[in-house]
Amino acid sequence: MAETVYILCALTSVACAVLLLRAWRRTRMKLLLYSGLCFAIFAVNNVLLFVDLVLIPAGDLSLARTVTSLLGSGVLLYGLIWDVS
Amino acid sequence: MLKTLLDGAVMMAYLSCALFFLRFHRQSRDRLFAFFSLAFALMGVHNLLTTVVGPDLDAERRYFLFVVRLVAYLLILGAIWDKNRAGRGTR
């Protein structure tokens, strides 16, 4: 069950990134670009989550997961503050 | 210590994004922004729970926390689907 949740998290974040970046290519709206990039980094984060908790349970990638979360949300926040507002 | 500090920064970033989207929703009355705001607030809650409750949970129960994150992602997908459907309707 845990594996299913982690895989679904990864798949849904990839789907969000693809849909948002496709919408950005169509409309060129900056907000969609930053949201898409944010979810692309979240997708990396969710792959790391699966690797950390399922594939290598003995290892600890929690710092890398936190850093990617910070990077993803930071990209969106940068866009919201400097480019969109 | 460093990880806790970074987790706090991540939660703050999520909640700030949620507030920005809430402002956009109030300005435009667009449902998309309301969904985005709710999703980022949920991600903030997930982050808080993972930091506060997560370390006390065993491996079998830890994944329950990630259901909150999954719901947030599904909300975003729902928001995009809702927006696309509305776009087709107005054409």
Question: Could you state, in order of their start, the residue ranges of all structural domains in chain A?
Answer: 2-81
User: How confident is the model at residue A21, as a pLDDT?
Assistant: 94
Window 43-82 of A: residues touching B by CB (8 A cutoff) are: 49, 53, 57, 62-63, 66-67, 69-70, 73-74, 76-77, 80
> Would you say residue A85 has pLDDT above 70?
no
Contact A70 B74 (CB under 8 A): no
Q: What is the pLDDT of residue B91?
A: 45
Chain B CB contacts of A20 under 8 Å are: 80
Mean pLDDT of B56-63: 78
* Model confidence pLDDT, tens digit, residues A43-81: 999 999 999 888 888 888 889 999 999 999 999 999 999
Among all residues of chain A, which has the CA nearest to that of B69?
A: A9
Query: String of b and e for B25-61 (b: at least 16 CB within 10 Å)?
Result: beeeeeebbbbbbbbbbbbbbbbbbbbeebeeeeeee
A12–chain B Cβ distance below 8 A for any pair: yes
- Write down the mean pLDDT value for chain B: 88
| B residues 72-91 closer than 8 Å to A (CB) | 73-74, 76-77, 80
Query: Nearest CA to CA, how far is A28 from chain B (Å)?
Result: 16
Q: What is the pLDDT of residues A11-40, one digit of tens each?
A: 999 999 999 999 999 998 899 999 999 999
Note the ipTM here.
0.89
Collect all residues with Cβ–Cβ distance below 8 Å to B33 and sequence separation of at least 6. Answer: B21, B22, B24, B25
B54 with B31: CB under 8 angstroms?
no
- Mean pLDDT to the nearest integer, B50-65: 81
Query: Is the CB of A19 inside 8 Å of chain B's CB atoms?
Result: yes
State the best of A52, A66, A71 to mutate against chain B, taking most chain B CBs within 10 Å. Answer: A66
